Amino acid sequence: MSATYRELRERAFTANMEIPRRGLAIYTFGNVSAFDRDRGVLAIKPSGVPYDRLSADDMIVVDLEGKVVEGRLRPSSDTRTHIVLYASFRGLGGVVHTHSTYATGWAQTGTPIPIYGTTHADHLAEDVPCTEVMRPDAVEGDYETETGKQIIECFRDRNPLHTPMVLVAGHGPFAWGEDAEKAVYNAAVLEEIARMAFITRTIHPGAARLPDALVRKHFDRKHGKKAYYGQK
Ligand SMILES: O=C(CO)[C@@H](O)[C@H](O)COP(=O)(O)O
């Protein structure tokens, strides 16, 4: 491991190891990257290596063209989706993709997660958005880049720093943050929100969304007053 990227690779490794620790994915499912915006590179988990065999030395450093800058293995199959998010959303230092059970369940039905309660409103002030299902011709093309573009399209009128998570229809969740650690935190929050919403809807299929006044109160208490809720 070169000294230049040692810190970035260690950051990516530590964040990836939080995925199994938090029960957000099994085996090789999912991936986390850490971004160094000054150098224009990210460090990401290699493809197909189970978490219990990963080391910091295995992390792959990739530039925003997708070219491997350093590393022995193949970067995660979702790398190009991570690249689209770093290139399009300002202020990101980490991106996470998981197959966490409840969030993936909502994604597989193509359903945004309704903002039912204050746990949700403490973290974001709108439903967790869900992308459109990908068109067949897009699936045949550069699938991972298209996945990123679907997310960007879904955030056309949203602020990704206010809503740091999304469901990709038929696939699973992505989350992000100012660094890789915060991105994993947001992925764990998303899974908990998804689980609570599933239980809420199961107990009462017609459960109402949290009233706007409570959404604002809880979101503002944690994040300060923001002029727009879920909007740019
Ligand atoms: O989304 C997927 C597959 O649908 C990925 O999360 C894989 O489950 C992990 O891929 P690698 O990171 O090992 O390439």
Mutate to test the pocket of ligand 1, among 13, 26, 29 (most ligand atoms within 8 A of CB): 29
Instruction: Give residue 228's pLDDT.
Output: 43
229 is catalytic: yes
Neighbouring residues of 59: CB distance < 8 A, sequence distance ≥ 6: 8, 9, 10, 12, 13, 16, 43, 44, 45, 46, 71
Which atom of ligand 1 is found nearest the CA of 74?
14
Q: What is the DSSP secondary structure assignment for residue 130, as one 8-state letter?
A: B
The closest alpha carbon to 55, from 4, 6, 3, belongs to 6
**Among residues 36, 122, 179, 220, which one is catalytic?**
122
The span from the CA of 16 to the CA of 31, in Å, is: 6
pLDDT band at 226 (very low <50, low <70, confident <90, very high): low
DSSP string, 60-126: EEEETTS-EEE-SS-B-TTHHHHHHHHHHSTT--EEEE---HHHHHHHHTT--B---SHHHHTT-SS
For the stretch 11-54, pLDDT in tens is: 999 999 999 999 999 999 999 999 999 999 999 999 999 999 99
Long-range pairs, 142-145, Cβ under 8 A, ≥24: 142/80, 144/77, 144/78, 144/79, 144/80, 144/81, 145/80, 145/81, 145/83, 145/84
Is 220 catalytic? The answer is no
Task: Cite the DSSP H helix spans in 157-208.
Answer: 180-203
pLDDT in tens, 138-175: 888 899 999 999 999 999 999 999 999 999 999 999 99
Say yes or no to pLDDT of 232 above 80: no
The CATH class given to the 3-223 domain equals alpha beta
Taking phi over 0 as left and psi of -120 to 50 as alpha, with beta for the rest, 110 belongs to: left
Q: Which atom of ligand 1 is nearest to the CA of 31?
A: 12
State phi, psi for 9 to the nearest 5 degrees. Answer: -65, -40
**Domain ranges (residues) in the chain:** 3-223
ipTM for the whole complex: 0.94
80-121 per-position pLDDT tens digit:
999 999 999 999 999 999 999 999 999 999 999 999 999 999
Write out pLDDT tens, residues 133-145.
988 888 888 999 9
User: Which tens digits make up the pLDDT trace of 167-205?
Assistant: 999 999 999 999 999 999 999 999 999 999 999 999 999
